[in-house]
Amino acid sequence: MSLYPHHRSSSIPIQEKQSFNLLRWFALLSFLSVGLISAVSAFLLSRFLTNNMLKRDAVVTMEFVQTIAQAENTRGYFETDDPGKTKVVFEAFFRQIATMPEVVRANVYNSDGSILWSDDDRFIGHRYTQNPQLKTALSGELAVTSGTSGKPLKPEHVFDRKVPFFAEIYIPIWNVRENKVVGVVEVYKVPLTLFEAIKQGNQLVWLSAGVGGLFLYVSLFWIVRRAARVIRRQQEQLVESETMAAIGEMASAVAHGIRNPLASIRSSAEVALEEAPPFRATAEEIIHETDRIEDWIRELLAYSKPPSGTPAPIRMNDLIQSTLDSLDREMKKKNVKSTLALDASSPLVHADEALLRHVLISLIANALDAMPQGGELVVTSRAEKEVGRVEISIGDTGTGIPKEQIAKVFKPFYTTKPKGMGVGLSLAKRIIERHGGTLRLESEPGAGTTVFLHIPAAR
């Protein structure tokens, strides 16, 4: 029987909170917003351009027709009780309007909306009540619209010949003495030059809106992408700082609790080494392992503190040579041969010598650990003057690293070695990046590993 009767063994699934992808949402929403604004702006501008150009052309036609109508006293045709007296004179005038350039039809309406005259006899005598443009003209204002004969909106939009586009102009005819509209002259025009100019203008409007919208979208996307990278980098630095603070506290506690008894163990082993020859091998092993633990503690303490130092010009070839000399005994012990290919110009780098030496020692030690049966260590230096930096490569002929593990080796406390702590590569990368450089690793299982360092050259 369970001591906790209300406790259930079934686990409750925990849903992971997905992080907000700023760049993805901005890319989507900004694309829709900029695209919509550009399309609406282009539509409104093209409509304004079309209407304005059509109206300007219609005003010119209206001024011409009204001027002739006033000069010929055309209003008498609309107001006389016997239109036959003046029919011949004024129909000749209207027919002249119908034969003007670009005009394909002319209709004449009286004040009640009936067609008094048309160049197409089929429409004479008809009255079209569903004609808002005619009502506008009868109220004394110029009315203009456009259309196509392929999609007729009115019965009079049917032409004898194919008309792709036309402008429909309603011109009020005034009785100046009584200040009233006595009729309307309707003119259908096919101003091809005007329509071509409108078409080119609309294309330019849409092209400008598209290019402007694209430029705005790319500019905003670049700014937000850069901001997202800065935010992500700052977030990583914040997490790293918190992690380092926790590691620092842990490292201090571990160092304080282990170093004193570790020193006593080593002292006892040294005494046994001198006074008990039968236990010499055991004492040496104890001393070796205590030294290894001491190195781990020192490395952990070094990792928990931000890399610091005083950068100064350093001759890279000399630092590489001195570092290899200090590890010569270890290399001979592991039967590893070193090959140097150093730049003859002996390039200078701008870095802290102690920190950079620590990086080289850590990387070379990793290379030696990867060749337990011996092999070749290849170290090169090369000045990259065109980019103002120096490249150092450290390669081995060891076991290599599987591809799926390469992305993890720079993470703190991740190691492929059975007795490693997993802070060497991570600390080396931090040090190089604090100096404004980069650290890159290439490896192939069974063919060895090569680490590339790029450090700013000294000026």
**Which three-class secondary structure state does DSSP give residue 395?**
strand
Mean pLDDT of 354-368: 85
Determine the Cα–Cα distance for residues 136 and 360; give it in Å rounded to an integer: 90
Identify whether the C-beta of residue 380 lies closer than 8 Å to the C-beta of residue 342: yes
Most confidently modeled range among 134-143, 177-186, 287-296, 320-329: 134-143
pLDDT at 37: 92
Backbone φ, ψ for residue 208 (5° rounding): -65, -45
Query: For residue 105, what is the DSSP state?
Result: E
**What is the rounded CA–CA span in Å between residue 456 and residue 390?**
6
Residue 13: predicted pLDDT: 43
User: Which amino acid, residue 155?
Assistant: P
Residue 10 in this model has a pLDDT that exceeds 70: no
User: What pLDDT score does 42 carry?
Assistant: 92
Q: Within a 13 Å sphere around the CA of 354, how many CA atoms are in the beta-carbon half?
A: 5
- Reply yes or no on whether the pLDDT at 210 is more than 60: yes
Query: In the structure, what pLDDT confidence band is assigned to residue 428 with cuts at 50, 70 and 90?
Result: confident
**Token digits for 156?**
């009079």
Residue 199: predicted pLDDT: 87
* Residue 93 pLDDT grade (very low, low, confident, very high; cuts 50, 70, 90): confident
Chain mean pLDDT for the chain:
79
Tell me: pLDDT of 3 over 80.
Answer: no
Would you place residue 8 in the very low, low, confident or very high pLDDT band (cuts 50, 70, 90)? very low
Strand ranges across the sheet with 180-189: 115-118, 103-110, 180-189, 166-175, 143-147
Please report the domains of the chain, with CATH numbers, ordered by start residue.
23-201 (3.30.450.20), 309-456 (3.30.565.10)
Other C-beta atoms closer than 10 Å to the C-beta of 129 total 7
Give dist(CA 365, CA 369) in Å, integer.
Answer: 6
Give the β-pairing of 166-175 and 143-147: antiparallel
414 exposure class (CB count in 10 Å sphere: 0-12, 13-18, 19+): middle
What is the spatial distance between Cα 95 and Cα 184, in angstroms, rounded to a whole number? 15
What strands, in cross-sheet order, belong to the sheet with 389-396?
336-341, 375-384, 389-396, 448-456, 438-444
Mean pLDDT within 197-208: 91
d(CA 77, CA 85): 9
Q: Quick check: 81 pLDDT over 60?
A: no
Indicate if the pLDDT at residue 96 is higher than 90: no
Task: Look at residue 9 in the predicted model and tell me its pLDDT.
Answer: 39
Do 415 and 422 contact (CB within 8 A), yes or no?
yes
**Token pair for 303:** 């990792």
Q: Is the pLDDT of residue 414 over 70?
A: no
- Which tens digit of pLDDT belongs to each residue from 225-256? 888 888 888 887 787 677 666 766 766 776 76
Pairing relation of β-strands 375-384 and 336-341?
A: parallel
Copy the structure tokens of residue 283: 């004492």
Residue 46 backbone zone (phi > 0: left; psi -120 to 50: alpha; other: beta): alpha
More confident residue, 390 or 419: 390
* pLDDT, mean of residues 268-295: 77
* Residue 15 confidence (pLDDT): 44
Q: What is the pLDDT of residue 344?
A: 82
Q: Given this model, what pLDDT does residue 16 score?
A: 45
d(CA 324, CA 351): 19
How far apart (Å, rounded) are the C-alpha atoms in residues 230 and 444?
33
- What pLDDT was estimated at residue 442? 86
| SS (HEC) of 305-361 | CCCCCCCEEEEHHHHHHHHHHHCHHHHHHCCEEEEEECCCCCCEEEECHHHHHHHHH
DSSP conformation letters of 206-229: HHHHHHHHHHHHHHHHHHHHHHHH
| Closest alpha carbon to 435 in 360, 323, 350, 318 | 350
- Mean pLDDT (whole number) for 380-393: 87
Window from 178-192, 296-310, 341-355 with minimum mean pLDDT? 296-310
Tens digits of residue pLDDT in 154-167: 656 555 556 677 88
Lowest-confidence pick of 11-15, 48-52, 292-296, 341-345: 11-15
| Percent above pLDDT 90 for the chain | 9
Give the containing element (helix H, strand E) for 103.
strand 103-110
Per the CB < 8 A criterion, the answer to whether 326 and 289 are in contact is no
Contacts of 154-158 with C-beta under 8 Å, sequence gap 24+, read 154/128, 154/130, 155/123, 155/126, 155/128, 156/105, 156/107, 156/123, 156/128, 156/186
17 has pLDDT over 80: no
User: 64-68, 79-83, 190-194, 430-434: lowest mean pLDDT where?
Assistant: 79-83
What is the rounded average pLDDT of the residues 374-396? 88
| Range name among 16-25, 124-133, 193-202, 272-281 with the lowest pLDDT average | 16-25
Q: Are 336 and 375 within 8 A, CB to CB?
A: yes
